[in-house]
Structure 1
């Protein structure tokens, strides 16, 4: 029996601290990171012995170096407890080993990364011959993780009480929760230890949940997605008999225009900076590019959310995408914006975000061969001819004009049905030796033919 995949998802609970609480949070993060810096130095000093240990073995080994107990009264680094006087007991006692494991594992990861990069540098694996050796960064950017009852106490979902450092002692402070998502309301989700994320810009709790999806009883249909350039996503819900019961176009044009307008401004500023020659400095328009990346993430989340909503509404067996891994776009004609459009094609992000959201509901995502999904007519009439003036339209050999992306979505859905129903994983049609198109080039009409044979 196949073991269900463990799904971990994280919610962001926004906090509304007072000015005094912001100071307390800042002190807490500061002392936590200071402790991690101590651990980085200890672990690096003894890496020859600690590097070969597993995560479970690493924790007690580091504890024996810095934590004094009745069984180990003589420790090598007593200054840890001296430097962090009155440090809460839940950071030190064996009863909270998982809590310390997170901090120790984080420091061990810093050391392991440095040792690996330094050995590669010594072996001559460098970007350039004169490259300087890597440096161990003990200034870790981690945030304190909180344990229920010891580090935080929830008062409903409106307030949370957090234990913080005021510079001399550890005290409790109550802060308002101003925004959260819905994962806490699901009975099957288990809330794990949150982390306090605090810096100059943000203040929130990063709350992970272990999600256990309910066992699904899907209907005999799939939700097919064609990711395009002119239309971001074209959706069709195809049944096992080849009936299209739903179709939809998703294209957040306003967000795309916002992104493209900013990218266009980059070329204008670049021409003013360089003139007819020269080079742009490193980091040129970096803020604009960061903004565009955030817009791309927003577009991907909006599109993927709607895809999952459709699949959930029709209780689909799976969501079907084309396998576009490794696909590289060809540049358009001179002075055309086709290349820029391909750079803004969010095929990977949309697919990944959809899989994350759909897996949380217990669904699965499958991929089919991308070849000839849009070139072959879904009715079996052969190859289609794309309109030179409007590439989104396709003309069938019969003269029928149809949306090219929708035609591709129909064929993707058919291939998804074949992949789910055929034991050997083939996707319809006869083999190459029969003189017909390969099995992987199935179209919607092949589902019709299979259904008619079944009825006969």
Structure 2
């Protein structure tokens, strides 16, 4: 059974000055309705919370109908003229969520669950920056070519329909398995936009190989395609040097200015910090796309990472820049973006135990010796030299297959050592473990004979 995924695109609108004013008034009218509604929901929360339908219970208090001619709060019918029913129900759901969240946080505060001992009680905030949800067919209509949209707006005296041009959008609407849901109208200083959610039902990927990714400091990401018999068919180094240099230059300026400043005030070098964050975000976006494209191109159904969530790196020796370089490390951002993008195509992301993937050679010859001048260069016990990040990516893929093929029942990246305990140190799982496994041969019968298999005799620098 395939699980649906919700993803959101931003579509930019190009309204005329008059239309822009209407869109702004629409958002203001909706927020005023929500602000008034939060007080009503808060006053009757006990009744609303126990009601069979919370939305219907709130409508009974504010909305006049033939069956409900005298609602308790007639202010809404007088103040908000001909307010659309779908916007009213959207506002009701928003207000219920705000009040429910407030009572949950207040009960936690009363129970003593606080961030600090002198923490003040939470407050109910009705002045939230919410935006209206435009239900398809009722509040918004799209043209067939999706170049124009018709939106129901408030012009100050009445609700009218107006056609607004769509100037820019992304490509999710072109997917066959993507369904457009009701968008939200965003109006702020940046302009007018539609936040369009898509319900995506991707087909599950089927493949006999995995894409193993080693994320490092010297090389941002090293990826390789690994089969269950230890065959490696493709390798790639992803390291956008130009963008990384631009980011590091901004960080160097901040360090230089900090040394010359006695008291660092709030907002110190905020512009350079903002630019560095934007560079990092851009690097993570482009690099994650390269990883997903590489995995898709070679038919990988799984992308494997090291499980480094929560890991805190240590700084190097005195005078070393290692700690500063770790501040720009993109591990979590890169993993999260890759996971989200690959899931849209039906792929899966897995994690393996990280210890020993870089420090042990992929050919099973034992620990490697890292070069002090070039930390990416590793020397095996046999004297051969190999790229350490590339060897680590092989071992990451091997640990996934070792667990999948039940070559080990352990979760610490090591092989089983028999039923009885042993004084010998357990052997970490490396790529060489798959070469010895005969069961894996049957799972990779379709792999061609001309692919690259990194045997000990063929390891290259």
The question of a shared fold, defined as TM-score above 0.5 by the shorter chain, is answered with yes
Q: Check the 8 A contact 1:428/1:446 in 2, yes or no.
A: no
User: Which one of the candidate residues 228, 240, 259 is aligned to 1:252?
Assistant: 240
Correspondent of 2:319 among 331, 335, 338: 335
Q: Deviations over 1:154-185 (max 9, x none)?
A: 12221111111111111222222122122111
Q: How many residues align?
A: 437
Structure 1 counterpart of 2:78: 82
Is 2:24 the counterpart of 1:4? no
Deviates more, 1:127-136 or 1:149-158: 127-136
Name 2:448's counterpart in structure 1: none
* 1:453–1:138 Cα change, 3 Å: closer
Matched, 1:385 2:374: no
Whichever structure has more helix as a proportion of its residues is 1
Equivalent in the alignment of 2:60? 64
RMSD of aligned residue pairs (Cα, Å): 2.3
- 3-state DSSP class of the match of 2:260? helix
CA distance in 2, matches of 1:377, 1:400: 10
Indicate if the aligned counterparts of 1:232 and 1:251 stay in contact, CA closer than 8 A: yes
2:134–2:184 CA contact under 8 A, matched in 1: yes
CA pair 425-143 structure 1, distance change in 2 beyond 3 A: farther
In 2, the alpha carbon distance for the partners of 1:291 and 1:76 equals: 53
* 1:299 partner SS: helix
Aligned residue for 2:175? Answer: 186
TM-score, L = length of structure 2: 0.88
| Residue 153 (structure 1) aligns with | 141
Match of 1:238?
Answer: 226
Distance 1:202 1:249, change over 3 A: farther
Q: In the alignment, does 2:153 pair up with 1:164? A: yes
Look up the match of 1:293: 277
Question: Take 2:48 and 2:252, find their aligned partners in 1: how far apart are those partners?
Answer: 52
Distance in 2 between residues matched to 1:436 and 1:21, nearest whole Å: 76
Of 388, 408, 430, the match for 2:416? 430
Give the secondary-structure state (helix, strand or coil) at the position aligned to 2:153.
Answer: strand
Structure 1 residues 144, 424: closer, same or farther in 2, change over 3 A? farther
From 269, 277, 292, the equivalent of 1:308 is 292
Within 2, Cα distance between the matches of 1:412 and 1:453?
17
Q: 1:318 to 1:245 in 2, by over 3 A?
A: same
Return the offset for 1:310.
1.1
Gaps of 5+ in 1: 93-99
User: How big is each residue's C-alpha offset from its partner over 1:236-282, in whole Å with a ceiling of 9 and x where there is no partner?
Assistant: 001111111000011112222222222222223333332xxx4x233
Q: 1:452 to 1:25 in 2, by over 3 A?
A: closer
Indicate conservation of the 8 Å contact 1:382/1:396, yes or no: yes
Separation in structure 2 between the aligned mates of residue 309 and residue 436 of structure 1, nearest angstrom? 43
- Note the residue ranges of structure 2 that are not aligned, 5 or more in a row: 443-461
**Secondary structure at 1:245 match in 2:** strand
Using a 3 Å threshold, how does the CA distance of structure 1 residues 269 and 115 change in structure 2: closer, same or farther? farther
Tell me if structure 2 keeps the 8 A contact 1:160–1:174.
yes
- For 1:369 and 1:103, the matched residues in 2 are separated by 47
Deviations, residues 93-134 of structure 1 (Å, cap 9, x unaligned): xxxxxxx2x432322232233334444445555556555443
What residue is the counterpart of 2:36 in the other structure? 38
> Aligned residue for 1:366?
350
Q: Does the CA contact (< 8 Å) of 1:430 and 1:437 recur in 2? A: no
Where 2:53 maps in the other structure, the secondary structure is helix
Change in Cα spacing, 1:273 to 1:88, as seen in structure 2 (3 Å) is same
